[in-house]
Every structure is written in C-alpha cells, then in structure tokens.
C-alpha cells in the first residue's frame, strides 16, 4: 500500500528565482522545483506551506497566474519569524514547499454569472489567480468587478496589474484606501462602500471575498444588502496552520478544518460562526 502514499508532511526543495518587493512589508517570491519538472498545478485560492531552513513553515496563498506556464508565485507579508526570514531569501536560495492544499475559489462554477472580487490588504494575493482565470476566459462570465481596499496608497499591491485591469473596458476596478495624504487622487473610505456603486445582477452574481475577518464580515453585510444570495458569497478564512492536511487540529473553526475544508468557504457554511467571539 505504501507505494502510492505521498508523504504530505515532507517538503520538496524549490529554488528562488526572484524576490521582488511590492510594498514596505510585502514581497513576492518566484520559485521552481529544484528537481527538474514543472511546478505542480494549482487552482485559484489554494495555498502552499513554505519552509525556510531551520525556522519553520508559513501557509502562503499562491498568487501567480494558473493559466500560464510560469514559476510558482507567492506574495507574502512580513509578519512573523518565518516570513521575516523568507523576505531575506536571495535568488538561488532554496526553500521547502508542501502543497498545493485547500479548497479553491469556485471560478468554474461561476461561469455564466457576474463576478465580484472583494479584496482587503494582502487578501488580493489569493484573489489574483481567480482574476487571471476569469480574464483568460472572459467571454464565459458576465460583468466582472474588483473592489480592493488597502491601508494607504503605499500599501497597494500589484500596481501594474491594477493599471492594466483598469484599462480594460470589460472590467470594473474600484480601489479605496483607509487613509491617504493629499497627493492621492483615488478613493478614500472603506472598501465595502464601493460595492453599492457597482452594477451587477444580484440574482446572478458570485462574490469572492478575501481580507481580514472583520472586513469580510462587513463586506458580506454590504453584499447581502445588495441582495446577493448567501450561497453565492465565498470567503477565504485564516487560522493557525501547522500540517495543512487536517492532522494537527490547529486550524479548526467550528466543525471545519480551514486547511482541508477551506480556506474558501461558502458564506452559509460559516455564517453562524462569523460573528462569534473566540470560535
């Protein structure tokens, strides 16, 4: 029996090709397997466990373009010991990677419908592969809109993507920051405010939401106010993760394991837990 059982706890070595800075505390690593062969296929919304020698693992969403042959891409915010060490990795350095893990965004299932992407902060990273997939199959979807909230204009990710997306006539891109200096000519205010201004058919719209939990809660309220059905709203949840395959118990959220039942959940799966404290 053992022959077919890959060890999900064993990282494979990946070489860093590029370490690019996005903002003062966010950077993007491009990696490829040290052993010859392509990076494993992934679906938008899935994540990998990145191991840096001697320090430990961090769960990082995959943020590259799944429709193109390109290195595996991870956009990471410096937050803890592991991400601090990852930030220092130079091209040529080697990481250990396990994955991809988790339930992806329902991009395929959303075909034929309007799609709203609501991103807060680093939450744009796991949504970017979804956007790439939507755009690569543009004719299969109705209206597409991205609502992206960040702390300040300096914290905005993927400026060249945003610029390119803004330039398209078949895509609505709304960006808002919490606070800005006078030189920012864009919107200021919470991202949820933008939702009401978009045009979509509420009865035939799928919303993909990723950001801090509180921002997702308020986004859901706004989406519901705009009559989008609970079953069509999807959230990407976060909890402490160690094993990523449902063995270690850390990421439990009510009856769910975020790692294997999520990270993407339909809103009505987590609705009863979302407002509760210390779940």
Partner 1 sequence: MELLEKILVQHPFLKDLEQKYVQLMVGCASNVRFDSGTFIYREGDEANYFYILRAGKVALEIHDGGRETITIETLGEGDVLGWAWLVPPYRRHADAQALELTRAIALDGKCLRDKCRDDHNLGYELMMRIVPLITHQLQATQLQLMDVYGVKK
Partner 2 sequence: MISKNESFSDALSAEKKVVFVAKKDLPALFDSLWTNGFRILGPTLGEGAIVYEELNGVGDLPIGWTDEQEGATYRLKKRDDEALFGYNVGPHTWKKFLFPPKHRLWSAEASTNGLEITEEKQVIQKFAFIGVRACELKAILIQDKVFLGGEHVDPVYHARREDALLIAVNCTQAGKTCFCVSMDAGPRAESGFDLCLTEVLKEGEHYFIVEIGSAQGAEIMANVPHSNETREAEKAIQTITAKTAKQMGRVMDTENIQSLLQDNFDHPRWDDVASRCLTCANCTMACPTCFCSTVEDVTDITGDHAERWRQWDSCFTLDFTYMNHGHARTSAQSRYRQWMTHKLSAWFDQFGTSGCVGCGRCITWCPVAIDITEEVSAIRENQTAAKPTSS
**Site residues, partner 2 (CB under 8 A):** 1-2, 4-5, 7-13, 15, 34, 51, 53-57, 79-80, 94-96, 212, 238-240, 242-243, 245-250, 252, 254-257, 260, 272, 276-279
Q: How is residue 129 written in tokens?
A: 């592969």
SS3 105: coil
Choose the binding region for partner 1 from 35-43, 71-79, 236-244, 262-270 (rule: CB under 8 A): 71-79
Q: Which of 33, 135, 178, 271 binds partner 1 (CB under 8 A)?
A: 178
At its nearest, how many Å lie between partner 1 and the CB of residue 255?
26
Q: 137 to each of 111, 140, 144, how far by Cα in Å? A: 9, 6, 12
Q: Which of 9, 81, 188, 279 binds partner 1 (CB under 8 A)?
A: 188
SS3 190: coil
What residues numbered 107-136 form the site for partner 1, per CB under 8 A?
Answer: 120-122
H/E element, 219: helix 213-225
Q: Which is nearer to partner 1, 113 or 176 (CB)?
A: 176
Q: Which is nearer to partner 2, 11 or 142 (CB)?
A: 11
Q: Which is nearer to partner 1, 84 or 272 (CB)?
A: 84
Residue 142 contact, options partner 2, partner 1, none, Cβ 5-8 Å cut-off depending on partner type: none
**Alpha carbon 49 to chain centroid distance?**
14
At its nearest, how many Å lie between partner 2 and the CB of residue 92?
8
The CA distance from 15 to 164, in Å, is 29
Whether the bond into 100 is cis, omega within 30 of 0: yes
SS3 277: coil
The CA distance from 46 to 92, in Å, is 25
């Amino acid at each position: 029996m053992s022959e077919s059982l890959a060890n999900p706890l064993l990282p494979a070595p990946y070489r860093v090709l590029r370490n690019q800075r996005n903002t003062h505390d966010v950077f993007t690593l491009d990696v490829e397997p040290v052993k010859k062969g392509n990076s494993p296929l992934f679906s938008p919304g899935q994540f990998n466990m990145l191991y840096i020698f001697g320090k430990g693992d961090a769960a990082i969403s995959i943020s590259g373009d799944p429709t193109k042959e390109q290195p595996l891409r991870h956009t990471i915010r410096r937050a803890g010991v592991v991400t601090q060490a990852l930030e220092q990795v130079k091209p040529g350095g080697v990481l250990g990677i396990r994955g991809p893990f988790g339930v992806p965004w329902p991009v395929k299932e959303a075909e034929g419908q309007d799609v709203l992407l609501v991103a807060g902060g680093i939450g744009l990273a796991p949504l970017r592969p979804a956007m790439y997939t939507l755009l690569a199959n543009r004719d299969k979807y109705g209206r597409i809109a991205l609502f992206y909230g960040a702390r300040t204009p300096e914290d905005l990710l993927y400026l060249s993507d945003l610029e390119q997306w803004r330039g398209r006539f078949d895509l609505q891109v709304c960006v808002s920051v919490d606070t800005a200096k006078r030189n920012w000519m864009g919107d200021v205010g919470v991202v949820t405010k933008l939702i009401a201004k978009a045009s979509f058919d509420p009865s035939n719209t799928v919303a993909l939401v990723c950001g801090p939990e509180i921002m997702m809660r308020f986004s859901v309220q706004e989406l519901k106010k705009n009559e989008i059905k609970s079953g069509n709203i999807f959230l990407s949840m976060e909890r402490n993760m160690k094993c990523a395959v449902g063995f270690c118990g850390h990421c439990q959220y009510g009856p769910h394991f975020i790692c294997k039942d999520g990270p993407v959940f339909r809103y009505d799966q987590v609705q009863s837990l979302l407002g509760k404290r210390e779940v």
